[in-house]
Amino acid sequence: MNELRLDQSQQDEGLDPTNPFSEGHVERRMEEWEATEPFSEGHVEQRITETNATRQAPPAACSHTETDQKLFRILDLDVGHLACRLLIQPGDPARFRSDSKTDQVEHLPRASRFQDDMQRHVQCIAVMQGQEDATYCIQEPVSLELYYDSQSDGIALVNKSTKLLHLSKPRETDDATPGSNETHVPPYEIKKAEPGAWVVKQGDGSTVFQLLIFPRRYSCQLYEPKEIPGVAGSKRSRSEKHTPATPGSGVFQPARKIDVFRDIQKGQKLRVVNGQGDEEYHVIRLGKAGVSGVAEVFQALVSTHPKQVVVVKALKAHPNPVIRAKLWNREFSMHRNLRSGFIIRLLGGDARLNSLVLKYYDALDLGRRSRWRNASGFFSGNDTDANRVLCDMSGALDYLETKGCGPQRPQAFQHLVWRGRGKID
């Protein structure tokens, strides 16, 4: 049997290291613990600092250098899994800044054919195009606006800086010389770019960013009502004969693809589907809702606003995509925050189709020849009617003034409502 023997000095002092109740045991253990303490003074604070730095930095497999950012061609990156509309590869990610809150940072490797560089990643910005996105604005290192063209898969670039920029296609191979397709983009000028890869450089030849434009991630399919021929000899009950059909409840068959709402005719249906073929929403056109010199205005059933008839305002397509996008932005941004009983309410919009969705009021414009306008063009109501019109107009104008939409914004006056009577146009 092995016996535990005490050291002679410990016997003399009366200390037993195995007995927690012996004299001086606690003090002795504290001295031993301090001598072997793994966390020295300031160690905890140092570890917290190192942990925070590790969280902020990209993982080792996603490391990138300024050389990688500028020398790696965006065409060589692995982008097959992305569903974005634009992919931007900044020359210097630390200096890149945009006004968007929906773009995402992606650390992308080179494609699988570059086996030797599989562990080298490049930082890119993936930009999605939502229903309310007509443009994407870059603020740094240069001011540049990218406008989506609602009539094609391309975009329009506007140089908002005071520097001369150069737009070109990237080199086909690493050792190839730059092509002759470079075009200048002077300050405040517009250049169109089709889907594919592009390089934006400054006048000194330094790369601002590389850009990959994808085709539109949505499509519009037009459907026409399908006539169901009656079966010979079939009989319908009296209730079936006199039951009115619910608008839009018929059967539809595919017709063709279109780009804008204005191509829809009464009774037709438009399906907007995403890149995976799933329906985002659909619109069934009903009757005409009004007259406008800048838009086609009609009643409709929209799946995103069920159990109600709405008004779709499809802006007319301007040949310039920048002007087209700005017109939609102005209309949408002006009406989205207006909440007044005197003004027709905005329910939604789709910049991709240059359209707005408005609340429907079962009322006629005062300017149309109806019960409120006689054959001579004068107002046919009485003094009480005229007083109410003026009160509602003054209330609407006062509300618009508080919202910063005064007389300098005439578009706001196209949607005034004379409550319970008609629309003031």
Domain edges within the chain: 60-213, 217-226+249-360, 365-425
pLDDT value at position 63?
45
pLDDT value at position 76?
85
The structure tokens listed for 261 are 């709402």
- As a whole number of angstroms, the distance between CA 332 and CA 181 comes to 37
pTM of the full structure: 0.71
Going by C-alpha positions, the residue among 318, 301, 319 that lies closest to residue 310 is: 301
pLDDT value at position 234?
43
Answer yes or no: is pLDDT of 100 > 50. Answer: yes
pLDDT value at position 355?
93
Distance of CA 156 to the CA centre of its chain: 17
For residues 156-195, b (16+ Cβ closer than 10 Å) or e, as one string?
Answer: bbbbebeeebbbbbbeeeeeeeeeeeeeebeeeeebebee
Mean pLDDT of 100-120: 74
The one-letter code for the residue type at 88 is I
Phi/psi for 18 (5° steps) reads -95, -5
Percent above pLDDT 90 for the chain: 36
Q: Is the CA virtual torsion 389, 394, 397, 399 positive or negative?
A: negative
- As a whole number of angstroms, the distance between CA 381 and CA 374 comes to 9
- As a whole number of angstroms, the distance between CA 389 and CA 424 comes to 8
Mean pLDDT of 127-156: 94
Question: Which of 65-69, 177-181, 238-242 is the least confident region?
Answer: 238-242
pLDDT value at position 338?
79
Identify the residue with better confidence: 191 or 78. 191
Mean pLDDT of 181-190: 90
Segment 275-292, tens digit of pLDDT: 888 999 999 999 888 767
By the 8 A CB rule, do 330 and 349 touch? no
Segment 369-403, tens digit of pLDDT: 666 777 777 777 788 878 888 887 787 787 777 77
| pLDDT grade for 418, boundaries at 50, 70 and 90 | very low
pLDDT value at position 367?
64
| pLDDT grade for 111, boundaries at 50, 70 and 90 | confident
Query: Token match 């780009």: residue?
Result: 259
Answer yes or no: is pLDDT of 96 > 90. Answer: yes
Mean pLDDT of the chain: 76
Second CATH level (architecture) for the domain 217-226+249-360: 2-Layer Sandwich (3.30)
Query: Token match 């535990």: residue?
Result: 4
Question: Which of 70-74, 90-94, 309-313, 415-419 is the least confident region?
Answer: 415-419
Mean pLDDT of 117-128: 80
pLDDT value at position 120?
73
Dihedral, CA of residue 14, residue 15, residue 19 and residue 25, to nearest 10: 130
Answer yes or no: is pLDDT of 87 > 90. Answer: yes
pLDDT value at position 271?
93
Residues with Cβ within 8 Å of residue 123, at least 6 apart in sequence: 58, 62, 64, 69, 89, 90, 93, 105, 106, 107
Query: Token match 């002759």: residue?
Result: 180
Mean pLDDT of 178-189: 81
- As a whole number of angstroms, the distance between CA 273 and CA 253 comes to 16
The count of C-alpha atoms lying within 13 angstroms of the C-alpha of 400, restricted to the half-sphere facing its C-beta, is 23
Question: Which of 20-34, 104-118, 152-166 is the least confident region?
Answer: 20-34
Segment 239-266, tens digit of pLDDT: 444 344 455 556 888 888 887 777 788 9
Answer yes or no: is pLDDT of 323 > 60. Answer: yes
Answer yes or no: is pLDDT of 348 > 60. Answer: yes
Answer yes or no: is pLDDT of 151 > 50. Answer: yes
Answer yes or no: is pLDDT of 89 > 90. Answer: yes
Identify the residue with better confidence: 354 or 13. 354
